[in-house]
Amino acid sequence: MNAEAHKPVLYIIACGGRPAGDLAPFVSERLAEGWDVCVVATPSALKFVNTLALSELTGRVVRSNYKQPDDPDVLPPPDAIVVAPATFNTINKWAHGTSDTLALGLLNEAIGLELPVVAVPTPSSALAKHPAFEESVTRLRSWGVQILFDPELYPLPSPNVGPSAADLFPWTALSEAINGLRNTFQPR
């Protein structure tokens, strides 16, 4: 059996936020750590990610849509999932079981499969205070999702002023959380 068969599979789900445009270095680091990385983008994330560059980097197509039922899946099943960035919209839909995109379908399945998931929400400071968002974060955490969300540790962008979400995104904290994932599962 070759070494590729023993690599743990990490899905990186990118939502439509400016940090999605900075995925390539993050993906490269995960590959160097021995992960088999697959990128899934929400339809809104496609405005930010370079799908060709990410496909070349991972050796796998960047998926954004559901496949046809009889088509084979081009990605191996995940051992762990990262949502970076996780938008206000995705967090709220996910916490309420909506599966209207491939990304949300995978995230909802991950709850049922009890896969380790780390999500980094990047709402504006105003949206972070919305009661639905606060309830959604609490709900996802209660289901075992590791949410890197603490405005004191990871500052949020203010609407239309100051640093952008891309400038504030906690890539280092996310990398540390992923390193901790290796102890939570047995790769296939």
- In the predicted structure, residue 112 carries a pLDDT above the cut 50: yes
For 73, other C-beta atoms within 10 Å of its C-beta total 8
What pLDDT shows up at residue 2?
46
Residue 185 lies in a domain: no
Residue 186 lies in a domain: no
Residue 132 lies in a domain: yes
For 105, other C-beta atoms within 10 Å of its C-beta total 14
Residue 188 lies in a domain: no
Residue 8 lies in a domain: yes
CA 134 to CA 145: how far, in whole Å? 14
Residue 136 lies in a domain: yes
Q: What is the mean pLDDT of residues 108-135?
A: 95
Domain that holds residue 126: 3-67+76-180
Work out the burial of residue 48: count CB atoms within 10 Å of its CB; fewer than 13 is exposed, 13-18 middle, 19 or more buried.
buried
Q: Which pTM does this prediction carry?
A: 0.92
Residue 140 lies in a domain: yes
Q: How many domains does the chain have?
A: 1
User: What CATH number is given to the structural domain containing 63?
Assistant: 3.40.50.1950
Token pair 């400071």 is at which residue? Answer: 125
* Among 24-33, 47-56, 59-68, 163-172, the least confident range: 163-172
Residue 187 lies in a domain: no
DSSP calls for 84-140:
EEE-HHHHHHHHTT---SHHHHHHHHHHHHT--EEEEE---TTGGG-HHHHHHHHHH
pLDDT digit string, tens, across residues 32-64: 999 999 999 999 999 999 999 999 999 999 999
Q: What is the mean pLDDT of residues 139-165?
A: 87
Q: What is the 3-state secondary structure (H, E, C) of 26-70?
A: HHHHHHHCCCEEEEEECHHHHHCCCHHHHHHHHCCCCECCCCCCC
